[in-house]
Amino acid sequence: MNANLISYVPNLRVLDCTLRDGGLVNDSKFSDDFAKALYQADLKAGVDYMEFGYKCDKKIFSPDRYGKWKFCDEEDIRAIVGDNDTDLKISVMADVGRCDYKKDIIPKADSVIDTIRVATYVNAIPTAIDMVEDAKNKGYEATVNIMAVSKVNGEDLKNSLELLGQSSVDVIYLVDSFGSFYPEQIRRLTDQYMEVADKYGKKVGIHAHNNQQLAFANTIEAMNKGVGATYLDATVNGLGRGAGNCHLEGLLSFLRNPKYKTIPILKFVENYILPLREQGLTWGYDIPYLLTGQLNAHPSFAIKFIKEGRKDYYNFFHELVDDTL
Amino acid sequence: MNANLISYVPNLRVLDCTLRDGGLVNDSKFSDDFAKALYQADLKAGVDYMEFGYKCDKKIFSPDRYGKWKFCDEEDIRAIVGDNDTDLKISVMADVGRCDYKKDIIPKADSVIDTIRVATYVNAIPTAIDMVEDAKNKGYEATVNIMAVSKVNGEDLKNSLELLGQSSVDVIYLVDSFGSFYPEQIRRLTDQYMEVADKYGKKVGIHAHNNQQLAFANTIEAMNKGVGATYLDATVNGLGRGAGNCHLEGLLSFLRNPKYKTIPILKFVENYILPLREQGLTWGYDIPYLLTGQLNAHPSFAIKFIKEGRKDYYNFFHELVDDTL
């Protein structure tokens, strides 16, 4: 399918990695209240996957220093989602070399987790594949994120993609770890990933960072109107280490898919993300200008909104609809 | 020419509209020191145009309320640039309905200004064209910025472009006033503008806003690898009303044109933009993550840099080159 802006692309999957990538900002110390509210927001927003955090080895990372989402113990996830009797899939990230996967990843039959996302550098692909096979044998969906691709030479990348193609992995992720790629590079890389994916019946994902203010644009570019990457990573309000990630509220709005709703995410920003900023966590940009952009409204509305010290985005959204559309 | 990332595209022109668009944040109250330093930075950076501000009618806008760059009197610009015996061209913006152009725009022979940029809504195109002809007759280069195109219907835009094509205007600007366009829309619009421009021997420019974090991406998209827009607007650090503009320091780095240097702009940010932020002016994003992105370095360098309360970007840039390349 070659879609344009108003087309419905049914095979897309949006993954909210706020808890996981945002956890790099606060040592994964999100409260249960925060996690529950995000889970509810993702459900209402029609997000396809929610990533709870890392599956890190407690022998390497101390539970005294890190919050529970660094480890994602089964009971901790269940405390948020119960048996997760929903369409929202749950993923965790397992870093090569930081995860005691044979022990800490239990059989899928006993777990509420759906998907194991293996993160690897290119030199550790064989271990990553062992982790994939372990996860698949246990009954999980498995993805591989090849990190730091901007520093990988062409031959290594080509060989890695071939190895992954021949593995049991379901999705291969293009990851711009350093936020260094321009859209035309993302396009070329996505084409390269798609070639392997098509050959072996895999899917391709995109995980972008916002260092050059291109995370969102690069995510769109990788999608390539529905014929490129179909697994799209984003975080609420771009929350993530450093410059942050593709912003979920922008992405859902762009997709124009009846399945996706932006407002639950805006509410979550209002109630849970702003307090984080007030506590001093720092990253990215601001919501009101996004809304005026999305609604094709003059920025003076957002300027006034901010000037008045208001933070009720939900009301603001409806006022903009009422006042400008 | 169909260029790729490492190609040199000689016909590009970068316009720094920091004083003009940034003036919407502080009522155009930039000090002479600020303007002089920006002029020197633009010269060193190889920027092609520097826009000093608006040519507003003092009968409409009070000089008691606004700074001098709302009016751009000849003597005020000359106090910064002397006779401007450089390759850097000087532009001012003249808004339809807000500029007493027959009186306030003096003959080019008596002015240090090179270019009159007429900003108009689509319904005022005839007046805009009168302003263009006035400016051209007086000896200036003239451009037209059609504002708020995202709210203009297709037929009006088509007719407007035709009228402008038949005028004496040199450059027609695609302007995303609300920051509402996605890259694929920018591509289609640029194609439409280019068709008229090619027919009538005009050039096309792009002026993007960052509401959806796409100002930079859309500027790149409009360029279309050297066969699209060739006049590219940007502001230092994205300084501009609301979500701000395409960031000049990102754009110059992207262009990979030996003419353009990013470091003078970084120095200007360090010495002149950070104090503005400290005074409470608010917009956009942050530099250190940009640098790590540009240099393909891990964001931990930038995180550490910020954590240490450092602001010396220049040193940081060289440290990154030394430590990571």
ipTM: 0.81
- At A289, the pLDDT band (50, 70, 90 cuts) reads very low
> What CA–CA distance (Å, rounded) separates A320 from A311?
14
Element (H, E) at A37: helix A32-45
> What CA–CA distance (Å, rounded) separates A174 from A164?
12
Distance from CA of B226 to the nearest CA of A (A): 13
When CB atoms are compared, the residue of A5, A212, A214 closest to B185 is: A5
Cβ separation B242–A292 shorter than 8 A: yes
When CB atoms are compared, the residue of A150, A212, A293 closest to B211 is: A293
* B311 SS3 class: coil
Pick the residue from chain A with its C-alpha nearest to B240: A299
pLDDT score, position A192: 97
- At B140, the pLDDT band (50, 70, 90 cuts) reads very high
Instruction: Determine the average pLDDT of the residues in B209-229.
Output: 90
**Hey, what amino acid is at B285?**
Y
- Partners of A218 on chain B (C-beta within 8 Å) are 217
pLDDT score, position B308: 87
pLDDT at A299 over 60: no
Tell me the average pLDDT of chain B. Answer: 89
- List, as one string, the DSSP characters of B121-187: -GGGHHHHHHHHHHHHHTT-EEEEEE--GGGS-HHHHHHHHHHHHHSS-SEEEEE-TTS---HHHHH
For the segment A21-71, what is each residue's pLDDT rounded down to a tens digit?
A: 999 889 999 999 999 999 999 999 999 999 999 999 999 999 999 999 999
pLDDT score, position B303: 64
pLDDT score, position A318: 76
Cβ atoms of A217 and B183 within 8 Å: the answer is yes
- Partners of A182 on chain B (C-beta within 8 Å) are 5, 220, 254
Cβ separation A299–B209 shorter than 8 A: yes
**B interface test, pick of A175, A178, A223 with most B CB neighbours within 10 Å:** A178
For the segment B289-317, what is each residue's pLDDT rounded down to a tens digit?
A: 445 544 656 656 766 787 787 877 777 77
pLDDT at A323 over 90: no
pLDDT score, position B290: 46
Strands A89-95 and A115-120: parallel
When CB atoms are compared, the residue of A218, A285, A290 closest to B284 is: A285
Pick the residue from chain A with its C-alpha nearest to B215: A213
Give the burial string for A58-77 (b: 16+ CB within 10 Å, else e).
eeebeeeebbbbbbbeeebb
Q: What angle do CA B304, B306, B308 make, to 5 degrees?
A: 70
Instruction: Determine the average pLDDT of the residues in B1-28.
Output: 84
Instruction: Determine the average pLDDT of the residues in A251-262.
Output: 85
- Partners of B241 on chain A (C-beta within 8 Å) are 299, 303
Q: Strands, E, within A159-281: which ranges?
A: 171-175, 203-207, 231-234
For the segment B96-106, what is each residue's pLDDT rounded down to a tens digit?
A: 999 999 999 99
pLDDT at A259 over 70: yes
Q: In terms of residues, how long is chain A?
A: 325
When CB atoms are compared, the residue of A217, A243, A284 closest to B217 is: A217
pLDDT score, position A229: 97
- Partners of A178 on chain B (C-beta within 8 Å) are 292-293, 296-299
Residue bearing the bigger pLDDT, A176 or B232: B232
Residue bearing the bigger pLDDT, A318 or B293: A318
Picking from A131, A123, A37, A29, the residue whose alpha carbon sits closest to that of residue A80 is: A37
Q: Of A9-13, A81-85, B300-304, where does mean pLDDT reach its minimum? A: B300-304
For the segment A132-180, what is each residue's pLDDT rounded down to a tens digit?
A: 999 999 999 999 999 988 878 899 999 999 999 999 999 999 998 878 8
Residue bearing the bigger pLDDT, B282 or B204: B204
